[in-house]
Homo-oligomer: A and B are copies of this chain.
Amino acid sequence: MPKFDIDEALLRKLAALLTETGLTEIEYENGEQRIRVNRGGGQVTFAAPVAPAGQPTPASPAAVPVGPPAGAVVSPMVGTAYLAAEPGGTPLVKAGDRVKKGQTLLIIEAMKVMNPIPAPEAGVLESVLINDGQPVEYGEPLMVIR
């Protein structure tokens, strides 16, 4: 049979979309092509885990918290994330950009203070996992740098 080659980047993008949208499954079909990704509901989100209260941890998705993707930039604080320097401005970075270490990727507002979030390392910005103006919590993946 012919070589079955898969689009890794696409899978990662879909995985990121799950995180961003809080979905647990995405199924995609295009003509003969069909792709489906699913996550057991352990993703970080503002909604509490739906696991039954008394359910033993090992049997609960919340028990096996999904780590952020490799190269993910996670939020250092609770606040509102902005992708542009000023409302309606152009995003500071976009997927595909090459970013320098320390370069400001986005801004998180907390207690009316604007906190610039720098790139922890240089690389290519693979994906943006959040929307402009989206509330984020501590440890939430924001962007992925490769």
Contacts and interface: CB of A to CB of B under 8 A. Distances in A.
| This chain: copies in complex | 2
B42 A42 contact: yes
Contact of A22 (B1, B7, B8, B66): B66
Given A8-B17, A12-B21, A63 B44 contact: yes
Interface of A: 1-8, 10-15, 17-18, 20-46, 56, 58-61, 63-64, 66-67, 69-70
Given A63-B44, A64-B42, A26 B22 contact: no
A44 B24 contact: no
A7 B4 contact: yes
A33 B34 contact: no
Nearest to A60: B42
A29 to B, nearest CB: 4
Given A6-B14, A8-B17, A10-B4, A25 B45 contact: no
Contact of A39 (B11, B24, B56): B24
Contacts of A63: 42, 44
